[in-house]
Chains A and B, each alone.
Chain A
Amino acid sequence: GAVVSQHPSRVICKSGTSVKIECRSLDFQATTMFWYRQFPKQSLMLMATSNEGSKATYEQGVEKDKFLINHASLTLSTLTVTSAHPEDSSFYICSARDLLEGDSYEQYFGPGTRLTVT
């Protein structure tokens, strides 16, 4: 149980284009999903917290107009990187909390999406 999928697993796009990454909880419902970014040899950095049916909460320094988050259902959150630039190339990972696990702090991670902007 507690499987999170991401699509695509790898994407290469040209500078200036937009890319959408999907994060799905496959066997549980998630009111809260998290989006992280990880540069090589660095830690996962939380970009934003996505709540179903409401606006995402962005971490300091993350441009909300550049990284658009939509959490339209209890099993799907999307991250759209708009007008991508080479410095946006990174490993993007989502995670989700199970609605039924109450105060559990465990997050289930997706396999990640490797974005390369040329």
Chain B
Amino acid sequence: RKEVEQDPGPFNVPEGATVAFNCTYSNSASQSFFWYRQDCRKEPKLLMSIYSSGNEDGRFTAQLNRASQYISLLIRDSKLSDSATYLCVVKPQGGYNKLIFGAGTRLAVHP
């Protein structure tokens, strides 16, 4: 079983739609959780760090359920510029701040 699992998509949605991505992780001792965004052939960029059970930043809401080992990202009012791959990232306990990346969920927002 992969340490971090995501639905690869693609999710094809119209502008203005609300879309949600899910992620599960296998290591119950994981400490920190993040969503990164990666554009095609570019490096990943931090979108959100997830604190406590979740947090919101503008149109983006991330939630964490430690009991179910489940993370989600909700994007409201999708923009064309939101088209990218969204990476669920987990930091396991210990280990030089090592990050474990999911394979990503691809989002395509169309006019």
State the A residues within 8 Å of B (CB).
32, 34, 36, 41-46, 49, 51, 57, 91, 93, 97, 105-107, 109-112, 114
Contacts and interface: CB of A to CB of B under 8 A. Distances in A.
Interface of B: 4, 8, 32, 34, 41-46, 49, 87, 91, 96-104
A110 B43 contact: yes
Contact of A32 (B46, B97, B104): B97
Contacts of B97: 32, 97, 105, 107
B45 A32 contact: no
Nearest to B100: A46
Contacts of A106: 46, 49
A93 B43 contact: yes
Given A44-B44, A109-B44, A49 B96 contact: yes
Contacts of A110: 43
B69 to A, nearest CB: 17
A49 B98 contact: yes
B101 A112 contact: no
A42 B49 CA distance: 22
Contacts of A42: 103
Given A32-B97, A43-B4, A112-B43, 11 more contacts: A43-B102, A44-B44, A45-B101, A46-B100, A105-B49, A105-B91, A105-B99, A109-B43, A111-B43, A112-B42, A114-B41
B10 to A, nearest CB: 11
A114 B96 CA distance: 26
Contact of B32 (A41, A44, A49, A105): A105
